[in-house]
Each structure stands twice: as structure tokens, then as C-alpha cells.
Amino acid sequence: MGLLDGKVAVVTGAGRGIGRAHALELARQGARVLVNDLGGSVRGEGAGNAADTTVKLIEERGGTARVHYGDVADHDQAGDMVACAVDTYGSLDILVNNAGIVRDAAIWNMPREDFDAVLRVHVAGTWSPCHHAAAYWRRRAKENPASTGRIVNTTSGAGLGGNFGQTGYAAAKAAIVGMTLTLALELRRSGVTVNAVGPSGLTRITATMPGAGEVIEPEDVADDAWHPMDPSNSSPLVAWLASDEAHYVTGQVIRSIEDRIIWMQGWRERKSTAAGGRRWDAAEIGDRMATDIFETRGAGLRFDPA
């Protein structure tokens, strides 16, 4: 018995790295998996058939999967992906939005087209699959109010706390959090939970960062072995969030770093001060920030990345 017996899942960007690990784990838990991947470079150039290897690995391990080579940021291809899962396996229960690219540079060196490309894949490439899956789940909920759906989106430390050289990537990953919170509200009545995970792992994305080097694919680490940066380490959390057991979890951001599962706390009111029924005078704000809010006039106020 697996946690996901009888379920149908789509995993985007599942041709390698963390997405491949998610697809393998969902299949291991009993889901039939549509393995999507455009197969381009880490910068999002070109196309290829990386998804074939993931499907082969799933089938070798006794699971059921088929490929989808579409570009998730293309609205029609994202629609085709959702339709392909429904046509092939008769339903869609789980959507894992994982596809991603990086084009890092400090903002003064980042070409505008690199910013656009990164936003396109992460933001539109999450929104369009969600749009098509949501329409499907709304229809299904009207026919069967007991039906459910699961969306697991992918954010990152850069989106939650910033990272030098990643203005595009950080903006995109923060946008995915806002989208997740909003979708959780919009889809609650259709029985669909929507959460975001922040994974980690040594993949070709981390290999673009100075000093990172090594790339590990999920199958490089034996099932009974442990590597703290195995790209599979967050996949059990994704499988659980995709399961019926996690029906009460929605609108949450959860990181999975090495062996830790970390429930993140979002923007919350921390402290406030009021002018007292009138507009503030700019000249008085410095004092009030120092006394009521920051409790400092400069020294000791730090920027703490997530």
C-alpha cells in the first residue's frame, strides 16, 4: 500500500534533478505519473528528451508513467499537459510545479531578457498548469463534491530571503509564494489544497553557483543510503502533501533542507505605532521608529535572510 495508490500526478520539470526525484517518489507511493520536461539547458535554452530517462526509471521500478515534453510556460502546452494526464489515466489528482531555470547575475549585469526568461518559466510556468488544473478540478467538484486535488509549488530560499545575483529568480520564487496563498483561498471550496515547498539538492542549478560543483541525480544515491544534498530528500514531503492524509494543510510554505522539514512563517505584523488619528509628520517618524519599532537608531538592525 502506498500513500498515493490510485492517484494520477503531473510533475513538471521532472526530467532530472529534484523533479525526477519527486516523480520517482510519487510513483513509488502508487501514483501514475505524467513526467513533464522541456529538456532544455539550465538557462532554459533548447529542448531535449530528459523526461525519457525518468519514465524508464519509474517503469524499471514497477511504476506507471509517460512523458510529456511540453513547455509549462506556454499556456496551450500547459493545457495539453493537464489534458494528457486526464486522457491517459482518466483523472488528475496531483500537480507538482517544479520546472525551473536560472540566469544569475548582479542586477547591473543582468540582461532584461534573462530576467524575463526566468520570470516566464517559474511564474507563468506555475500559473498556467494551475489554471488548467483548477478549471478541471472546479468542474469535477461540481459533479462530485467529495473530490479532491493537490497542488505543490516550488519556492526557494532566494524567494523567501533574497540571494545576491538572483533578482529575477528571487522575484519569481516570491511570486510563487503569493500565488500559492491566493490559490489556497480560491480552490479551498473545490477540495484542492495548495502548498509550496522549498527543496534542496545538488543539481545542475546549484552547480551554476560558485564552489558548488557536483551534480547528483536521484538514482546516484541508493534507497538505503544518505547524502545530505540528495535531490530526493524533499520528495517524501511532496508525496505526503499530495496525499489524502494532508487534507488539512493548505496555504503553507514548508522547506525541506537535508534531513529537516521546516515550516516557514510568512509576513506577519511584527510591531506597529500609531500617529493618533492624524497624518504622520515625516520629521517625527525617525524618533518613533527608533523608540517604538526598531529600538535602535542604526546599530544592530540587521537584514536576516530566511
Ligand X SMILES: NC(=O)c1ccc[n+]([C@@H]2O[C@H](COP(=O)([O-])OP(=O)(O)OC[C@H]3O[C@@H](n4cnc5c(N)ncnc54)[C@H](O)[C@@H]3O)[C@@H](O)[C@H]2O)c1
Bridge pairing between strands 253-257 and 65-68: unpaired
Among 101, 118, 141, 239, binds ligand X (CB under 6 A): 101
- Residues in contact with 280: Cβ distance below 8 Å, sequence separation at least 6, in sequence order: none
Task: Build a one-symbol-per-residue string for 188-207: x at contacts with ligand X by CB under 6 A, - elsewhere.
Answer: ----------xxxx-xxxx-
Indicate which single residue of 12, 54, 163, 243 sits in contact with ligand X (rule: CB under 6 A): 12
Residue 100 interacting with ligand X (CB under 6 A): yes
Stretch that binds ligand X, among 9-17, 56-64, 246-254, 258-266 (CB under 6 A): 9-17
H helices of the chain, in order, are 17-28, 50-60, 75-89, 112-119, 125-143, 157-161, 167-187, 235-241, 282-288
Cα 52 from Cα 267, distance rounded (Å):
40
Minimum CB–partner distance for residue 247 and ligand X (Å): 25
Told to judge if 128 belongs to the known catalytic residues of this protein, a careful annotator would answer: no
Piece in contact with ligand X (CB under 6 A), picked from 99-107, 133-141, 143-151, 266-274: 99-107
Q: Does 19 interact with ligand X (rule: CB under 6 A)?
A: yes
In degrees and rounded to multiples of 5, residue 55 shows phi and psi of -60, -40
Considering only 26-34, 96-104, 131-139, 241-249, which stretch makes contact with ligand X by CB under 6 A?
96-104
**Which of 3, 95, 121, 239 is close enough to bind ligand X by CB under 6 A?**
121
Tell the smallest beta-carbon distance from residue 20 to ligand X (Å). Answer: 8
Of 133 and 141, which CB lies nearer to ligand X in the complex structure? Answer: 133
Q: Are strands 260-263 and 253-257 parallel, antiparallel or unpaired?
A: antiparallel
Q: Which of residues 203-262 bind ligand X (CB under 6 A)?
A: 203-206, 231
Binding ligand X by CB under 6 A: which of 50, 84, 123, 152? 50
In the sheet where 32-36 sits, what is the strand order?
65-68, 32-36, 8-11, 94-96, 149-154, 192-198, 253-257, 260-263
* All cell numbers assigned to 276: 493618533
User: Least distance in Å: CB of 206 to ligand X?
Assistant: 5
Nearer to ligand X, 63 or 70 (CB): 70
Q: Is 169 among the residues known to form the active site? A: yes
Shortest Cβ 136–ligand X spacing (Å): 19
Catalytically annotated residue among 128, 156, 200, 243:
156
Using the structure block, give the residue that is written with the C-alpha cell 510556460. Answer: 73
Is 44 one of the binding residues for ligand X (CB under 6 A)? Answer: yes
d(CA 297, CA 103): 38
Cα separation, 125 vs 199, whole angstroms: 18
Rounded Cα–Cα distance for residues 83 and 272 (Å): 49
> Shortest approach of ligand X to residue 41 CB, angstroms?
8
Report the site for ligand X in 54-83 (rule: CB under 6 A). Answer: 71-73
Catalytic: 234? no
Strand pairing report for 65-68 and 260-263: unpaired
Annotated catalytic residue within 69, 89, 136, 169: 169
DSSP string, 33-100: EEEE-----TTS-S---HHHHHHHHHHHTT--EEEE---TTSHHHHHHHHHHHHHHHS---EEE----
Residues at the site binding ligand X, with contacts judged by CB under 6 A: 12-13, 15-19, 36-40, 42, 44, 50, 71-73, 98-101, 121, 125, 154, 156, 198-201, 203-206, 231
What amino acid positions are annotated as catalytic residues?
156, 169, 173
